[in-house]
Amino acid sequence: MDGEDQTRSGADLVVAGAGLIGLSCALEAARSGLEVVVVDAGAGERASEVAAGMIAPVGEASWGEEALLGAALDSAARWPGFAERLEEETGEPVGYRRCGALHVGLDRDETAELRRMHDLHGELGLESEWLTAGACRKLEPGLGTDAAGGYVAAGEAEVDPRRVLAVLRIACRRAGAAIREGVVAGVRDDGSGRVAGIELADGSRIDSERVLLATGVRLGELAAAGTAPIRPVKGEVVRLRARPGEEPCERIIASERVYVVPRANGEVVVGATVEDRGFDTRVTAGGVHELLREAYRAVPEIAELELTGFAAGLRPTTPDNAPVIGRAGPEGLLVAGGHHRNGVLLAPFTAAAIGAMLQDEPVPEAVAALAPGRFAASGVAS
């Protein structure tokens, strides 16, 4: 594919977006035999470059988000197989680790709030075990002495999203998909309500009867009006590195304001702020200060770690925090985006859903509630 005429080319499926969602879906399609071209606009606004990589359906559960929870549980169950197959196909590790997560309250108030979440887990039938302060510290001896109680979600896992991105690119190419640089400027139709392909910002075109838009925070600009009302929600993270023997914790440790994610390779990610500031990716002193201060309260040993960097990313977020996955607009057009805090978690589910739609096979049950049309009906979308 790479050697073809760049101004006019064709494919069975064009995937706009080379983030975790776009590549996962492209791989699924390529594995099923479709000729796939992925258009990659670069890493600049890619949420998966900044994501901490928590696969945490329990910790993310909240009131009134049952549709999202269904997809999250489905996807978390798919992750071990997803990771294993990727590693088999490429020989490259993705850092998947079912490490569990300990959510800890650092004072009475935080602990009461956690207890409320734990009670919700009970109502929702989620795996969540309440621990006293002593039991928390026995489980994770690096916890600060402020720890006053919490719950452990033993099934939560983590993955290194930047590793996954790199491995997905390899796997896509091996499965026959092409990845080319470019910015998608628009979707073309054939005049009778069918998709005809896409147009790139440099004026070139790719013909295809099927197009998947997976352009994250830019999805709303390409999708039909009202089908993908997505806004950017800023998050800042700090990256630390532990030398062997310095690992501050075994599990993901989450307090009310931060999470600390330890990776097998020694990297420790502290995240994340939640800011409604549009397309702003500046890292602020205040954001870093708060992350480090709160992480230090939870796990004081992080003070000894090497500070290797910070970053700010943009979560693509819909009005109800759940993604839009499915057909939208002209026939042949699919969208997959708006994954908010759950892009890494939901990647295998999203890929399975899009793959099934492309093959006209039965889709995962939970995808029904995530249809792009849902906002137009409620009047919530602009």
Partner 1 sequence: MIVELNGRDVELADDATVADAVLAAGIDPARRGIAIALDGEVVPRSELPVTPLAEGQRVEVVEAIGGGAPEAGGSADAPFSLGGREWGSRLIVGTGGFRSHEDLERALVASGTEIVTVALRRVDPESEGTLLDVIERLGLFVLPNTAGCYTARDAVRTAQLGREAFGTDWVKLEVIGDDRTLLPDAPELLAAAEQLVDEGFTVLPYASDDPVLARRLESVGCAAVMPLGSPIGSGAGIRNPYNIRIIVEAAGVPVILDAGIGTASDAALAMELGCSGVLLASAVSRAADPERMAAAMRKAVEAGWAARHAGRIPTRLHAQASSPEEGLAELS
How near is the Cβ of 60 to partner 1 at its closest, in Å? 11
- Strand pairing report for 8-10 and 205-207: parallel
Among 277, 281, 310, 369, the residue binding partner 1 under the rule CB under 8 A is 277
- In the list 173, 231, 241, 327, the residue contacting partner 1 (rule: CB under 8 A) is 231
Residue of 4, 202, 276, 365 that binds partner 1 (CB under 8 A): 276
Is residue 266 within 8 A of residue 244, CB to CB? The reply is yes
Out of 57, 197, 232, 262, the residue judged to bind partner 1 by CB under 8 A:
232
Stretch binding partner 1 (CB under 8 A), from 61-69, 77-85, 244-252, 301-309: 61-69
Are the C-beta atoms of 187 and 198 separated by less than 8 Å? yes
Select the residue interacting with partner 1 from 230, 270, 324, 358 (CB under 8 A): 230
- In this complex, which beta carbon is closest to partner 1, that of residue 96 or of residue 151? 151
* Cβ-based neighbours of 167, under 8 Å, separated by 6 or more: 86, 87, 90, 92, 93, 94
Distance in Å from the first CA to the final CA of the chain: 39
What residues from 31 to 50 belong to the interface with partner 1 (CB under 8 A)?
A: none
Tokens of 207: 């013909």
Min dist. Cβ of residue 321 to partner 1 (A): 4
| 209 touches partner 1 by CB under 8 A | no
Using CB under 8 A as the binding rule, whether residue 307 contacts partner 1 is answered as no
CA distance 262 to 224: 40
Instruction: Give 334's strand partners.
Output: 212, 327
Asked if 78 and 374 touch (Cβ cutoff 8 Å), the reply is no
Closest CA to 349 of 58, 69, 156: 69
- How near is the Cβ of 274 to partner 1 at its closest, in Å? 9
Give the three-class secondary structure for 191.
coil
Q: How far apart are CA 241 and CA 251, in angstroms?
A: 16
Total residues in contact with partner 1, by rule CB under 8 A: 24
* d(C-alpha 222, C-alpha 211), whole Å: 11
Paired tokens of 190: 């054939």
Choosing from 7, 63, 138, 194, the residue that interacts with partner 1 (CB under 8 A) is 63
**Of positions 28, 40, 160, 320, contacts partner 1 by CB under 8 A:** 320
Least gap, CB of 289 to partner 1 (angstroms)? 11
What is residue 301's DSSP assignment?
G
Judged by beta carbon, residue 25 or residue 148, the one nearer partner 1 is 148
Three-state SS at 350? helix
Site for partner 1 in 101-160 (CB under 8 A): 109, 120
Q: Which is nearer to partner 1, 286 or 309 (CB)?
A: 286
Instruction: Kindly indicate which of the ranges 8-16, 82-90, 196-204, 226-234 contains the residues binding partner 1, using the contact rule CB under 8 A.
Output: 226-234
Q: DSSP letters along 92-148, please?
A: -----B---EEEEESSHHHHHHHHHHHHHHHHHT---EEE-HHHHHHH-TTS-TT--
Which among 25, 22, 331 is positioned nearest to 190, based on CA atoms? 331
Residues in the chain: 382
Applying CB under 8 A, which of residues 7, 62, 132, 308 lies at the interface with partner 1?
Answer: 62
Q: Which stretch binds partner 1 (CB under 8 A): 62-70, 76-84, 197-205, 358-366?
A: 62-70
The residue within the footprint of partner 1, chosen from 24, 215, 227, 321 (CB under 8 A), is 321
Query: Min. distance of Cβ 252 from partner 1 in angstroms?
Result: 21
Write out the residues near partner 1 by the rule CB under 8 A: 62-65, 109, 120, 220, 230-232, 275-280, 317-321, 378, 380, 382
